[in-house]
Structure 1
Amino acid sequence: MEAEAAKYIGAGLATIGIAGAGVGVGNIFANYLSGALRNPSAAQGQFTNLIFGFAVTEALGIFSLLIALLLLYAV
């Protein structure tokens, strides 16, 4: 296998983390919404946890995109 083809395959595999981030964000918001509908008085207290979980999950997706771009253009 040529090195160029291996680079493209590796970059494609690195982008799987972006799909994982999308699933993670969906789970975070779905669980928050489910909990907020069950107990609306506690929803405001959990909002900061929601934003923190969203930020961490999106950061992991951005890191995987960064790795893919590094594989494509820096190596």
Structure 2
Amino acid sequence: MTYLRLPLVHRKHMKSTNMLERLNEEIRRRTYVVRIFPNAESCLRLVRALTVERHEAWLEDHRYLNMDLLKEHKKETLRQAA
């Protein structure tokens, strides 16, 4: 239900409120392709590479959500509550 507290502009862009689940699903998909790892370190290297790749994509891509709208929404909510 936290999803409904966001401004309408943000809600239409978000398909899920849990972006971590999508990252875990991508890791699961990539590790399934490899199937057998020679040791735990090689699996950890793959997972680290995927998370670094995702992090860099978030830094370089355009802004998914405009946080100024969220700040305005919070201020308006506080004004209405007062």
Shorter chain as denominator, the TM-score bin is 0.3 to 0.5
Q: Which of these two proteins has the greater Rg computed from alpha carbons?
A: 2
TM-score normalised by structure 2 residue count: 0.41
| Structure number having the greater helix percentage | 1
Q: Which has the higher contact order (CA 8 A, sep 6+)?
A: 1
